[in-house]
Amino acid sequence: MQSDNNDYLQLILPGDKSIAHRVLILTSFIKGVHQISNLPKNEDVLITLDILSRYGLEYKFSNNLIIINSNNMLFKNATIDCNDSGTTARLLIGYLAGLNVNATIKGSRPLSKRPMRRIINPLKDFGVDIESNNFQLPVKLNKSSNLKPFNFRLEIPSAQVKSALILYAMCINGKSILSGKTQTRDHLELLLADLGYPITIDSDKIEITGNVHFSKQIDIKIPGDISSASFIVCASLLTEGSHVRIKNVCINKYRIGFLNAAVKMGAKINILNNKLAYGEAVGDIDIHYSKDLKGIEVDSAEIVKMIDEIPILSVLACYAKGDTIINGVKELKVKESNRVLAIIKNIQSMGGDAELINDSLIIKGNKKLYNTTIKSFNDHRIFMSFYIANRIIGKNVDYDISDLSYNKSFPDFKSVIERVFR
């Protein structure tokens, strides 16, 4: 996981969660024997792996390598529990719709409150026989004789919806076209292009050829998770004397909004050893303590590049001079929690100043903060963000000891972050 260096703390993180979900589903689509190095063993990814294994995917772990045999994969009358993983649910709805099988996709109570309309409506338009609980889980898929390729314009910049529709298109006859707001995290497209699958990617259009005979072994090392890295970046920036280098991190252009915002605030961050691996941009993130951060304004168009990092950016903003204004935060209200509300409540409970005006989150920085009990709302990113906010103030962080929400994405969070605060 990590090692010390005389000059800086060097960290190597588990693989990127978003990439891992997509790679696992691709191993089930491309029959054969595959291997994945650095697969993250967080709750969300293990949910996807467990679901696939219930329908014939065989796997074994060997140190940091997982070997997968998908030759016997078969979804038949599937009842799938996605627990808390929204990525698993949305991707599998699209994938199983394209496979044209009878299936029911359900999830935990929190996941069952999250919107599925954005994936259900287009699938209905493409001939999928799909039922839902008022556009929420559970979702029932029925075999249909009306499936067709699509020419669809995305109106919501959602990487999960985009990936779900691509997976659907891969399973059916014909060529499908996605246009519109496609400029979101593009891990699935990059993976497919790197494998040689017939997909064409332009700036605002993606063409996918479906139902092609495609057989290629997947052999990939997943780069470190940029979202997990963001917590380490924040902690290092705010810890006097800190110098941390995080090795081999995914720096996909649609995922580095937090880093860009932090640099704009005056953070001392450099990307070293840039390279391409499996179609993805990968590099080392070098971070130094930065004491003179200033508040900034974040344009709503940039939110898609930091959608998961707004909570930790909000913590960074608390320690900056002046106001930070984050525009276009409505999508944060339908994540694992209402993250806008969760951010405001935690900042205010620490003595800070945060409010929502229209669709803008406004944080007044450089206030005197004090430790308080973390209210995570069972949201992993809220827990980790405010663990750091409180840990900067003192060693004793107060939280519900039964709150293990961080296991959803970063099980080793506390042990890793404590090395930064040494």
What is the count of structural domains for the chain? 2
Residue 397: the pLDDT is 92
Res 63 pLDDT > 60: yes
Judge whether 305 lies within some domain: yes
Residues 83 and 156 both lie in one domain: yes
91-96 mean pLDDT: 98
Give which of 22, 21, 62 is closest to 45, Cα–Cα: 21
Residues 169 and 238 both lie in one domain: no
Question: Which pLDDT band, with edges at 50, 70 and 90, does 6 fall under?
Answer: low
Res 283 pLDDT > 70: yes
Residues 89 and 159 both lie in one domain: yes
Judge whether 4 lies within some domain: no
Q: What is the pLDDT of the chain when averaged over all its residues?
A: 95
Residue 9: the pLDDT is 97
Judge whether 5 lies within some domain: no
Question: Which pLDDT band, with edges at 50, 70 and 90, does 135 fall under?
Answer: very high
Residues 216 and 230 both lie in one domain: no
Give the torsion sign (CA, 61, 62, 63, 67).
Answer: negative
Which of 205, 221, 237 delimits the end of a domain?
Answer: 221
Residue 105: the pLDDT is 98
Which of 221, 239, 265 delimits the end of a domain?
Answer: 221
Residues 57 and 137 both lie in one domain: yes
Judge whether 10 lies within some domain: no
Residues 6 or more apart whose CB falls under 8 angstroms from that of 346 comprise: 372, 374, 375, 382, 385, 386, 389
The residue range of the domain holding 242 is: 226-420
Question: Coil, helix or strand for 285?
Answer: strand
Residues 65 and 206 both lie in one domain: yes
Judge whether 269 lies within some domain: yes
Q: Which of 50, 308, 323, 379 is catalytic?
A: 308
pLDDT in tens, 225-241: 999 999 999 999 999 99
Residues 173 and 54 both lie in one domain: yes
At residue 209, φ and ψ (nearest 5 deg) are -95, 125
Question: Any catalytic annotation for residue 125?
Answer: no
Question: Which pLDDT band, with edges at 50, 70 and 90, does 4 fall under?
Answer: very low
Percentage of the chain beyond pLDDT 70 is 99
Which of 221, 238, 259 delimits the end of a domain?
Answer: 221
Judge whether 107 lies within some domain: yes
At how many degrees (to 10) do helices 339-349 and 380-393 cross? 20
Judge whether 11 lies within some domain: no
Res 166 pLDDT > 50: yes
Residues 35 and 130 both lie in one domain: yes
Report the CATH number at residue 179: 3.65.10.10
CA 421, CA 389: separation in Å to the nearest integer?
12
395-408 mean pLDDT: 93
Residues 277 and 243 both lie in one domain: yes
Residues 240 and 278 both lie in one domain: yes
Strand order in the sheet with 297-298: 297-298, 323-327, 360-364, 353-357
Res 110 pLDDT > 70: yes
Q: What is this structure's pTM?
A: 0.96
Residues 214 and 263 both lie in one domain: no
Res 384 pLDDT > 70: yes
Judge whether 37 lies within some domain: yes
Residues 179 and 164 both lie in one domain: yes
